[in-house]
Amino acid sequence: MAKKNKVVSQSLFSDNRKIPNPIFKTIDLFAGIGGIRLGFESVGGENVFSSEWDKYAQVTYQANFGEIPYGDITKIKPEEIPEFDVLLAGFPCQPFSQAGLKRGFSDTRGTLFFDIAKIVDYHRPRVVFLENVKRLKSHDGGNTLKIIKETLESMGYEVHAKVLNAKDFGVPQNRERIYIVAFLGKTNFQFPEVGGVETDVGDILEENVDGKYTISDKLWAGHKRRKLEHKEKGNGFGYTLFNRESPYTNTISARYYKDGSEILIEQKNKNPRKLSPREAARLQGYPDDFYIPVSDAQAYKQFGNSVAVPVICELAKKIAKEMETIKPYKDKRKSINLEKIMSENITATKDILVSSRK
């Protein structure tokens, strides 16, 4: 008997999920469970290659897209990837996160941007779409984002970057992320207009939720004790309660599986409860027919690490429209040495980290 969640086979190329009348081809790097892909499929994007190293995310990806992503993107050569028009990548955010060690390019995961750049340099796709945490904008005094933009510009791309909040796109979640959109040519691209969208947490809550999601007396007592301790220290850390009338929640994170403290749902005459995995999916804008084949703990990690799909859908609409009229630059491409750029910035970031500890 096959083990549960066993990945049976590996496919480098997408051929199981056909998009009717595709308009352009995409590749999905650091794919997670496919949230960015969903957004671009909604406007006619056909995916031809995917990459994701986490085995549990691969299980969810396979269950919903009919393919197993290639594992480690650093182990495949750019020339082995099929031709495509749009590169999609929600590359690792931990090196730039406020919650992490903020090592940036000195973190092995931080250098993965340069693996993206190698693929871009070889294939010259019409569009590069990147997503990351808000802190990327200010990381290392803005130098990290500056290097990313300059690297893409050196290859002839017009680069746009902006922080957008999921709650402005109909998702009842306060989730800010930076989106980087680069076009191989001149465009009139503008990020979507935001504001005026009302949201309610009740929109994503299920009517009947299993009692197992109600937190225990011990955990609830611990939450209240820690919140009081933080309050005495003068900060606002600790659990947060929400109900159906709340306009939006805090940001759901990959650590939600631990105790759910950032988003607890009030219950009458009961301890509060965690979101169910389906509610976590809805909080990120995933449709109810998105299959969740993994454990609750893995599901929380996957949706916490994912993207707000409605934001991606709106961005994809804008990008697809610009692709119809993009004007290629003439002779703007420069010869660049990615290895040199990467080496210089890794060294510079390490020097900053060493100096800060002295």
Task: Report the distance separating Cα 214 and Cα 217, nearest Å.
Answer: 9
Sheet holding 86-89, edge to edge: 45-50, 24-29, 86-89, 127-133, 176-183, 158-165
Number of residues that this document lists for the chain: 358
DSSP letters spanning 7-66: -----SB--SSPPSS--EEEEEES-TTSHHHHHHHTTTEEEEEEB---HHHHHHHHHHHS
Sign of CA dihedral 280, 281, 284, 288: negative
Number of helices followed by number of strands (H, E) in the chain = 10, 8
Cβ–Cβ < 8 Å for 259, 223: yes
Tell me the catalytic residues.
93
140 torsion bin: left (phi>0), alpha (psi -120 to 50), beta (else):
left
Alpha helices in the chain (DSSP H): 35-41, 55-65, 112-123, 143-154, 217-232, 256-259, 277-283, 296-305, 309-323, 338-357
Task: Report the distance separating Cα 155 and Cα 242, nearest Å.
Answer: 47
Q: How open is the CA angle 339-341-345, to the nearest 5 degrees?
A: 115
Strands 127-133 and 86-89: parallel
